[in-house]
């Protein structure tokens, strides 16, 4: 049974983010008619994904202010620096890439959050787009430290209380002077009376690289009668196969939760959200998901993992994280199909997950989807190559409600016309029963089109 969706303020039009051309954009719909798609607010020359969804109306989350600025990491005019300022006593937890060549900001955050006192009083988050500061050695680490030091001086906190995240080109050392020279401007904007919705929209746009639309999510829930708010933004459209894309996700709640509890909850929900999506099977050096709890809601402090008072909050947090994860797939580079892959009847949850990811990551499956071809033989290939337990004579495959194969053979009711019509949908469900047990897993992915090659062929141009 699926948990009820968290209470949400709902989604509004994209007019604020993309005015005036996207008022008619609808979830999962392709642009109508022959009119070219509008340009995205990130990298020039990219059209907004036909799978794009509207940015939500995010309400005020107490204990956090956000400001953006143009530091100049990109040649074209755009904000590429985002700074969050948190109230004293804000808790923080993070989950990071397991890539063997992690970035300097990942190293920084992990080092300061993993200790016994880690995450107990985080005061700021600094994010830059355009430079990943990964594979940059000691100079990159020094640049990260200097950035934290400059922000700490202005906010009156320790360096360790400043979290960092970067995204962009790998192998280029961060020019931290570009950030330092903009901090005065950022402080002025932080102190301005900017509506919360505008702050979150600007932040979501400021962290974009090859993203074609800003990604956000918002929910409300209750803790002992107190209304608690959860807001989050994310970026990523290529190099997406989180293992915890270039993927960054930042979530803030005004609940009052101990860092150890945040860490446990984040680890629990990452597995079925960010770690269950894939665009191209590549994991980034910079994958970061940070969760902050400001305590400004007035709700009682939660200091124990498993506290029953967190039941509603846990559901709402999972909803926000899954929404953001789905948006990463919807903005997959060149994507035209949003695809849900479910494996049933597996020998174990781990086996089900491996099988589902094999299907979702297969270039042959993904290109068939792009061509609107229900080539279920490619699904059979992706299942068999995993060497996971599979009963060939019980294998069954469905595309949406249409059965392609059953009991290890083509279905006697297979209807090519109906299947072809289904494959033209913008959202596709693939369900495979491998007949080896009772475990299930779901992974979300997208198709693989010529546009993916074009975008990545000139990524640094």
* Cα separation, 42 vs 22, whole angstroms: 15
Task: Name the β-bridge partners of 396.
Answer: 433
- Helix or strand or coil: residue 270? helix
Contact 87, 253 (CB under 8 A): no
What number of H helices and E strands is found in the chain?
13, 15
Kindly tell me the burial class for residue 275, based on how many C-beta atoms sit within 10 Å of its own C-beta (0-12, 13-18, 19 or more): buried
Structure tokens at 23: 């008022």
Question: 193 CB contacts (<8 Å, ≥6 apart)?
Answer: none
Quote the CA–CA distance of 306 and 309 in Å, as a whole number: 9
Angle between helices 137-155 and 183-191 (to 10 degrees): 40
Cβ contacts of 433 within 8 Å, gap of 6 or more: 343, 344, 345, 394, 395, 396
**Catalytic annotation, residues:** 246
């Amino acid at each position: 049974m699926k948990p009820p969706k968290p209470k949400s303020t709902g989604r509004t039009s994209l007019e604020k983010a993309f005015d005036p051309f996207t008022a008619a954009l609808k979830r999962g719909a392709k642009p109508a008619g022959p009119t070219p798609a509008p340009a995205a607010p990130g990298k020039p020359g990219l059209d907004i994904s036909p799978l794009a969804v509207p940015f939500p109306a995010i309400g005020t989350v107490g204990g956090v202010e956000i400001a953006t600025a143009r530091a100049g990491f990109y040649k074209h005019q755009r904000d590429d620096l985002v700074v969050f300022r948190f109230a004293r006593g804000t808790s923080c937890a993070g989950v990071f890439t397991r890539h063997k060549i992690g970035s300097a900001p990942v190293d920084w955050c992990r080092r300061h959050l993993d200790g016994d006192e880690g995450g107990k009083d985080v005061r700021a988050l600094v994010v830059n787009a355009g430079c990943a500061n990964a594979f940059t050695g000691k100079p990159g680490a020094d640049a990260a430290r200097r950035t934290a030091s400059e922000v700490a001086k202005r906010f009156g906190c320790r360096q360790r209380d400043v979290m960092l995240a970067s995204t962009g080109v790998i192998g280029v050392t961060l020019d931290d002077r570009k950030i330092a020279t903009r901090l005065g401007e950022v402080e002025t904007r932080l102190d301005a009376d900017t509506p919360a919705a505008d702050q979150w929209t600007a932040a979501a746009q400021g962290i974009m690289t090859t993203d074609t639309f800003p990604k956000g999510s918002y929910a409300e829930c209750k803790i002992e009668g107190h209304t608690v708010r959860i807001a989050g933004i994310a970026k990523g459209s290529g190099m997406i196969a989180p293992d915890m894309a270039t993927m960054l996700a930042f979530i803030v709640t005004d609940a009052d939760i101990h860092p150890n509890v945040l860490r446990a909850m984040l680890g629990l929900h990452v597995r079925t959200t960010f770690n269950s999506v894939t665009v191209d099977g590549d994991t980034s050096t910079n994958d970061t998901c940070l969760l902050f709890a400001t305590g400004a809601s007035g709700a009682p402090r939660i200091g124990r993992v498993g506290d029953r008072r967190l039941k509603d909050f846990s559901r709402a947090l999972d909803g926000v994280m899954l929404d953001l994860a789905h948006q990463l797939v919807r903005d997959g580079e060149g994507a035209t199909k949003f695809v849900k892959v479910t494996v049933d009847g597996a020998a174990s949850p781990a086996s089900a997950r491996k099988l589902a990811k094999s299907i979702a990551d297969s270039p042959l499956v993904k290109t068939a989807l792009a061509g609107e071809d229900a080539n279920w033989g490619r699904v059979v290939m992706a299942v068999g190559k995993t060497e996971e337990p599979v009963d060939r004579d019980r294998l069954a495959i469905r595309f949406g409600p249409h059965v392609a194969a059953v009991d290890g053979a083509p279905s006697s009711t297979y209807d090519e016309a109906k299947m072809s019509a289904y494959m033209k949908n913008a959202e596709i469900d693939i369900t495979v029963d491998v007949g080896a047990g009772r475990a299930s897993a779901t992974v979300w992915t997208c198709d693989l089109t010529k546009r993916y090659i074009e975008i990545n062929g000139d990524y640094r141009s």
